[in-house]
Structure 1
C-alpha cells in the first residue's frame, strides 16, 4: 500500500504500517469524516486468493456480531486496488506479549484482572456459540485505562451456522503451538473449553514470563504438552496464590472434561484476586481507582452467567452442606452413570476447595471418587493422570509416608499394571454415556 493513500475518500493511511501478520498488513489511519484514529487491516497481497478474501470478511462479520466492550469495534469493510480491508477501532495500549516482555513478572492483581476481563469476552462469545480458538498474549491488548480487548477472530468457529463454521488454512495453522488446546492439535472438536485452555496458557505466561510448554523442537514441545501433567505456575513463581495456581493447572488439563465448566467459574476465582492493581508506569493511567472501577465493569459477568457457588468481591455465598451432593454422586455411580458421577464429584470438589481450601480432606475424597469413576469407564489413561495429580498433592500436604499416600500409591500401581479393557467392555460399562 502507498502511505497516505485515501480509502473511499475517507480513511487516510499513515506513513508506515504497524505490522505484517501472516494474512495481512495493519496500518494506522485517520477517519477524516468522523475525525478519529482507526486501524486498517489489509489482506497480504502475496497471499491474495478467493479463500483469504472470504476469510477476512468472515472475521469482520464475526467480530461485529460479538457486541462486547472487550472486543474492538468494526467500523467498515471495503476494497482498494483489488485488496480487501477492514477498518477497526484503534486501541491505545499494548498487547500482552509485549507487556510480558517489558514488565514481567506482572503483579498478581493485574494478572487476575486481565484474566477476569477475558472471561467476560468468552462468556459473551459462548452465548452466541462462538469459539475464538486462538487465545494467546499477542491476541489480547491492554489499553491505558486498564481495559482488555480480545483481538483476531480469524480462526473463530460458530456452532450451527454454515456461514461461519468452516475456515481455510491459507498461510496459517488452526491455532498457535503452546497455546492451542490438545483437541486442536489432534484436529478434534473445539468448544468453549478450548478457549479456556488458551486462557490458562495466557495466565501462565502472565504469571511466569514464559509459555507453559517449551522445547528445543516442535516435537518435544508437543510431546510435553500432550503427555505430561499440566504445569503449575507456582513452581516458577512461589508467590502465586494457591487458588490461582490450581485454576491455571485445571485450565491446562489435557482432557476438556477436567477443565472448569465455563468462563463464569474461572471469573469467580479471578475476580476476588483483582483488588490490588498498582500503577504500571508509562503504560497505564495514573488513577488506580478509576482503573479498578473500569476493569470491574468490562470484566463483569451477568448474574445469569455466574455459577451458583461463585463468590464475588466483598460477597460470600452461604455454605451448603455437601453430603447430599456426595450422595447424589453415589446414586449416579450405582446406576451406572459413571461419567455423570465423575463430573458431579469434580464440580463438588472445586466448590469445596473454594470454601475450605485445596487441602481439605473432602476435596481429596471427591477427586479420588472422580478418578475411580473413570476406571469404571475403562478410561485408564485419564484415570492415571488424575491419580498422579492427586498423589502429588497428597504428598505435598501429608508427606510421602502418610497412610493415605501409601494406599494411593498402591492403587495407582495396580491401575498402571492393569491391561486396558477392550472396547466392548468399555461400552458395557457406560463409557459413552
Structure 2
C-alpha cells in the first residue's frame, strides 16, 4: 500500500503505523465523515487462490460483524470492512497510546498496581466479549494499548480467526492462529480456543508485566511451546519478591494446563485483581493528566453511584412484546427462505430475528408441527453460527426430543442436532459434558452408519480434540493413530478432515521434539 491510496472509495491512506504477520496498519482519513481512522490490511499473499480469498472475505465480514457488536470502551469501534484489489481491510477507531510490549521494555518490571490495573481492564473487556461467545484467540502485549489517561484498549478481536480458523501455530511455523508464546496448550494443539484459552493468554501477559519476561522465554521457539504444555510455570515471587502471594497464586491458576483448573470466568479474575489496583504511581511518557474535569470520568462516577442504590430487580423491557403475527403457511415458508438467504450472506442477526418471529407465529398453528420443527432447527443453527452458543444449546436441547420422536432417533437430522449440541457445549467450555455427548453419538452412529462412514470418523477426531483439552494426551494419541489410516482409506490423504486429524497427531508428536525449530514469537 502507498500513502494517498483511497480504499473503499472513501478512506485515504495517510501514513503506515506498523506491520506484522498478518499485514499492515495505516492511519487513514475518512473522506465522508471528515475524521481519522485506522485501516488494517490482511496480506493478499496469504490467499494465493481466488477461492481462498473469497472464503477469507466471508470469514472477515463475519468476524467484523461479530466484533462490531461488542460495546465496551476498551474495544475500538469497528466502522467498516471490505476488499481492495486482493487485500482485505478493516476500518476502525484510531487509538492513540503506548503498546504494552513497549511499556514492559520501558518499565521493566511494571509496578504491581499497574500490572493489576492493566489485567483488570482486559478482564472487563473479555467479560463482555465472552458473554457474546467472542474469543480473542491472540491476546498478547502487542495487542494491548495503554492510552494517556491510563485506560487500556484491546485490539484485533477476530483477526486470528480470519487468517486461518482451522490451522495451528505449529503447522504454519508461527504463522497460524495466535502467537504460541501466549497460547494455551489445548489451543496450540487443536487450533481451537474458548474463553479459558483467553484466560491462559491473560496469565502469560500478567506474568510478563510482573516479571519483565515471558513465562517460558527460550531462545528455541519450539522448546518454549513445548514447555507451555509440559512444564510448571515459575512462581513470580521467585523472580520478584514484592509480588503479593495472592496475585502470584492467581497467575499460576490462569496458567493451569487443564482448562478446568483455571478460573471460571474473566469476571472472577477481575474481582481477584481489583484489590491490587491501589496507589498507582505515574508512568512518565505513557500517562498524562486528563482534562479537568474529565468528561469520561464524570460520566462513570455518576453511573457507579446510580448502580450502588437505584438499580434493583430485572431490567424493564423498553416496550411491551407485541403479540405474534398471524402468518399463513406460505408466508412462513417465505420467511424460512428469507432467513436462509440472510444466513448465507452472513447477516445472522437479521436471520435470527426473522426466524424468531416465524417460530412464534408458527407455534399458533397446531397443524404445522413439522414446519415449526424446521423453523426451530434453523433458529438453533443460526444462533450457533452467530456464536450465541448458550441460546443455541437451549434450542438444540429443546427441539431434540420432538425431532427424534418425529424422525426417529437414528435419522441424520437427529444426529446433526446432537452433534451441534455437543459442539455448543465444547464452545462453552463444558468439555466433559461435550465428550460424553459425542461418545454416545459415536456409538449410535456406528450402529446406524457403519464404522467407515465419514460421520463416525469425524466424531472420533472431535473426541480426540476434546481428550486433548481435558489433558488426556496419551489417550488422544492412541485414538488418532488408529483413526488416521482409516480416514486416509475412506476420505483420501488430501481431504480436509484427514489433514486436520494429521495435524492433531503431528502437533502432539512435535511437542515431544523441542529441537524442531519454528519461528513467530
Do Structure 1 and Structure 2 share a fold, with TM-score over 0.5? yes
Q: Give the 5 Å matches for 1:331-342.
A: none
Measure the CA separation in 1 of the matches of 2:281 and 2:181: 29
1:230–1:254 Cα contact (<8 Å) kept: no
1:13 aligns with 2:17: no
Offset, 1:169: 4.2
Aligned to 2:121: 117
1:65 aligns with 2:64: no
Measure the CA separation in 1 of the matches of 2:94 and 2:6: 17
Aligned to 2:41: 42
1:200–1:251 Cα contact (<8 Å) kept: yes
Aligned to 1:167: 165
Offset, 1:196: 0.6
Aligned to 1:53: 57
Measure the CA separation in 2 of the matches of 1:290 and 1:239: 35
Deviates more, 1:260-269 or 1:72-81: 72-81
Displacement over 6 Å in runs of 4+: 288-291, 378-381
1:210 aligns with 2:230: no
What secondary structure, in the 3-state scheme, does the structure 1 residue paired with 2:16 have? Answer: coil
Measure the CA separation in 2 of the matches of 1:154 and 1:277: 32
1:253 aligns with 2:256: yes
Measure the CA separation in 2 of the matches of 1:9 and 1:137: 33
1:144 aligns with 2:148: yes
1:107 aligns with 2:111: yes
Aligned to 1:279: 282
1:131–1:156 Cα contact (<8 Å) kept: no
Aligned to 2:269: 266
* 1:219 counterpart (218, 222, 225): 222
Q: Deviations over 1:40-92 (max 9, x none)?
A: 11222333433433343333222202222111101112333443321110101
Q: Deviations over 1:212-233 (max 9, x none)?
A: 0122323321332222222222
Measure the CA separation in 2 of the matches of 1:237 and 1:155: 34
Aligned to 2:2: 2
Aligned to 2:78: 74
The structure carrying a bigger helix percent of its residues is 2
Measure the CA separation in 2 of the matches of 1:238 and 1:229: 19
The alpha-carbon distance between structure 1 residues 92 and 38, as it changes in their structure 2 partners (threshold 3 A), is same
Aligned to 1:180: 183
Measure the CA separation in 2 of the matches of 1:215 and 1:194: 21
What secondary structure, in the 3-state scheme, does the structure 2 residue paired with 1:66 have? Answer: coil
Q: Deviations over 1:178-227 (max 9, x none)?
A: 21001112217532111110000000011111110122323321332222
Offset, 1:295: 12
Q: Deviations over 1:377-430 (max 9, x none)?
A: x9999xxxxxxxxxxxxxxxxxxxxxxxxxxxxxxxxxxxxxxxxxxxxxxxxx
2:44–2:88 Cα contact (<8 Å) kept: no
The alpha-carbon distance between structure 1 residues 289 and 227, as it changes in their structure 2 partners (threshold 3 A), is farther
1:95 aligns with 2:99: yes
1:153 aligns with 2:152: no
Aligned length: 300
Aligned to 1:429: none
Aligned to 1:32: 31
2:203–2:254 Cα contact (<8 Å) kept: yes
Offset, 1:296: 12
Measure the CA separation in 2 of the matches of 1:8 and 1:379: 49
Measure the CA separation in 2 of the matches of 1:289 and 1:198: 36
Q: Deviations over 1:28-48 (max 9, x none)?
A: 112233332211112223334
Q: Any gaps of 5 or more consecutive residues in structure 2? A: 48-52, 309-431, 434-470, 475-521
What secondary structure, in the 3-state scheme, does the structure 1 residue paired with 2:180 have? Answer: coil
The alpha-carbon distance between structure 1 residues 144 and 10, as it changes in their structure 2 partners (threshold 3 A), is same
Aligned to 1:388: none
The CA RMSD over aligned residues, in Å, is 3.4
1:277–1:288 Cα contact (<8 Å) kept: no
